[in-house]
Chain A
Amino acid sequence: MGELLKVDRMKTEFQTEKGPVTSVDEVSFDLKEGETICLVGESGCGKSVTSLSIMHLLDRNGSITHGSVLFEGKDLAHASEAAMRKIRGNDISMIFQEPMTSLNPVLTIGDQLTEGIRLHMKYSKSEARKYAIEMLKKVGIPRAEGIVDEYPHKLSGGMRQRVMIAMALSCRPKLLIADEPTTALDVTIQAQILKLMKELREESNTAIILITHDLGVVAEMADKVAVMYAGQVVEETDVYTLFDNPKHPYTLGLMKSIPHITNPDDMRLDSIPGSVPSVFNMPKGCRFYDRCPFAMERCQNEKPELKSIEDKQPHSIRCFLYEKEEQDYEQKHAEKEVSS
């Protein structure tokens, strides 16, 4: 499996009247072909901004100001709008949280599906239509031949999300970014969509960045996970390591605070006190400092870096608690390099 995407210390800023605001700071992760990474975190942690930054779909006042986004070796952080247009919908496509508002209400499903197909695959009008119907069938839409001429308001939320998936996958992208694709759906419909995404992923070998706040969805879908907090990745590892051996205090807190139906009856939820810091008032040191049960004095003023520790799988953490492990890892790998 070759490397597909490498996001390195990406920083996204928004120009506002109050001056520049950093929404995402030092986000790093990488992704191989066919792999699924989940970006997990609460609202305002920067997971959506990260994906929109990669696609250059931020509002006019937002842009990547530092770091790089290497997609198949090309740096998208500095790509031109014309170059991005060729990539969007073609090499990288996206599905969004709100299926009810993500489709244009005044254009037919067919219109919206064939647009991308004709643009990127250079199909003729009738070929594109045939292919669109084929795609609708593939995502499990009944009566695809009829639905293709319908307007979005005739479809339920689940069906619209299927249309969005058909649209996103029609040009056989190498990377699919799915921003909370099931959050707005009912659970039984969520189960349908997740099943569909798994099947299509297997068939097409598309890499996926799945953005979610639901650890259940993460466990179900991810190969690897980046936990985000206040615009930073605080922990990154593969999904099994994350659930078996979570390290960062925020990850631990998140896991213990979610009421789940498999929790034992008398278990009391641990809640994380306080709330997420505002982008206008980011703490100087660790951003989790004032909510962290293990906070030390140095956490207030010193900024922790995302560093690797020794584990069964690659595992990196942004926390001073694991400084010793991080040093051990560095030493070991330095020795390895020397010996080789």
Chain B
Amino acid sequence: MLQYIVRRILIAIPVLFGVTVLNFFIINLAPGNPVDMMVNPSATPEQLAMQKHELGLDQPVWAQYWHWLTQLFQGNLGFSYSTREPVTQILVAHIGPTLLLMGVSLIVGYLIAIPLGIICARKQNSWIDYLVTGFSFFGISVPHFFLGLGVIYVFASKLLLFPTGSMNTLGGDGGLIDTISHLVLPVAVLATGIAGNMVRYVRSSMLDVLGKDYLRTAKAKGLSQFIVTNKHALRNSLIPIITVIGIDIPMLIGGAIVTEQVFQWPGLGLLTIQSITSRDYSTLMAINLLAAVTVLFANLLTDILYAVADPRIRYD
């Protein structure tokens, strides 16, 4: 098992390298450049050229990439083109809010989805099954910006129950209660989508397992329905659930770009949008790298969890 993990990590290195190459060149293919965004429109071409030279943007793309890569190996992600702050510092400032928002959303989403999925499977084709399936379609298909604006309109503007956005009250002294009240609406929006997706996988996976012979064996032993469902069936239906979790984890870092934008949540999603509009190449590259690492890590974690959930899966 350990050998397998080491091997997977070694394979990850060339993959990451490929990801950075692709990203770097694609970003450079995009029209515009940081200098155009940063200087005032009346600057002379000489001034622009000076700026470009200063930032190394007048060099060929491959040279720029090489420079970025060698700096990366020294642990330096560079400086933001727009704010001139070190990228590392910017990332650290934005990662916390995103982890908080997404972590809470995923947990809330799963806490709703898993029991509901089990109930739906147990009571297939009942009114509760139809209701939950309907909710799940709603959660998957309603765009986040729409739902986000909707809840802001109803709960923030009309009912004045929650703030409209940001993570803390401006000028306030913060505190846990303040953060929680800011969390409620964006979490509600994100958890709806996450739960809507997960509930379908739990339901179908459970339905599949509930028809299995070994559940009849378990019942024939005189076990209660509760134990049959939650001990015998649930563990067997975990594989598809783990797969979905593995797909969800990268969201922890990537954040929900649209939702963060709608709620002005100061996380990585918001940072991504800002970096794109200001052509802040160095920040974008760092975000991409972080996202790639998370995806690879999530995949590895998924594979390890498979083996934990199902003793028939062995990596050796």
Contacts and interface: CB of A to CB of B under 8 A. Distances in A.
Interface stretch (A80-88, A210-218, A239-247): A80-88
A167 B221 contact: yes
Interface string A104-148: 111100001001100110000000000000000000000000000
B209 to A, nearest CB: 10
Contact of B213 (A98, A112, A116, A151): A98
Nearest to A55: B220
Contacts of A119: 221-223
B234 to A, nearest CB: 10
Across the A-B interface, the 3 shortest Cβ-Cβ residue pairs: A89-B222, A89-B221, A88-B222
B222 A90 contact: yes
A103 B232 CA distance: 10
B212 interface: yes
Contacts of A112: 217-218
A153 B311 contact: yes
Contact of A106 (B213, B217, B309): B309
A96 interface: yes
Contacts, number: 73
Given A106-B236, A151-B312, A101 B221 contact: no
A87 B219 CA distance: 11
Interface string B203-236: 0000000001111111111111000000110011
23 contacts: A55-B220, A57-B216, A85-B222, A85-B224, A87-B222, A89-B220, A89-B221, A96-B213, A98-B213, A101-B212, A102-B214, A102-B217, A104-B214, A104-B215, A104-B217, A104-B232, A105-B310, A106-B309, A107-B232, A116-B222, A119-B222, A151-B311, A151-B312
Q: What bracket does the count of chain A residues touching chain B fall in?
A: 20 to 34
Contacts of B221: 88-89, 93, 115-116, 119, 167
A164 interface: yes
B311 A102 contact: no
Interface string B130-151: 0000000000000000000000
Contacts of B309: 106
A94 interface: yes
Contacts of A106: 235-236, 309-311
Interface residues of B, number: 21
Contacts of A164: 217
B246 to A, nearest CB: 19
Given A89-B222, A96-B216, A96-B217, 5 more contacts: A57-B216, A85-B223, A102-B217, A106-B236, A151-B311
Contacts of B236: 104-106
A103 B222 contact: no
B220 A104 contact: no
Interface of A: 55, 57, 85-90, 93-94, 96, 98, 101-107, 112, 115-116, 119-120, 151, 153, 164, 167
Nearest to B211: A59
B220 A93 contact: yes
A107 B215 CA distance: 12
Which has the most chain A C-beta neighbours within 10 Å: B214, B224, B312?
A: B214
B235 A107 contact: yes
Nearest to A103: B214
Given A102-B214, A104-B214, A151-B312, A94 B232 contact: no
Nearest to B309: A106
Contacts of A86: 222
Contact of B214 (A88, A94, A101): A101
B127 to A, nearest CB: 15
A119 B218 CA distance: 12
A120 B222 contact: yes
A295 to B, nearest CB: 38
A89 B222 CA distance: 5
Contacts of B212: 101
B227 to A, nearest CB: 8
A105 B216 contact: no
A224 B213 CA distance: 28
A102 B224 CA distance: 18
A167 to B, nearest CB: 7
A88 B213 contact: no
Contacts of B222: 85-90, 116, 119-120
B218 A104 contact: yes
A167 B216 CA distance: 13
A258 B218 CA distance: 35
Contact of B220 (A94, A105, A107, A153): A94
Interface string B231-254: 110011000000000000000000
A197 B66 CA distance: 75
Given A96-B213, A153-B312, A88 B220 contact: yes
A102 B216 CA distance: 8
Nearest to A105: B312
Which has the most chain B C-beta neighbours within 10 Å: A87, A88, A90, A102?
A: A102
Contact of B219 (A57, A107, A167): A57
A105 B214 contact: yes
Nearest to A111: B231
Contacts of B223: 85, 89, 115-116, 119
A116 B312 CA distance: 24
Contacts of B235: 106-107
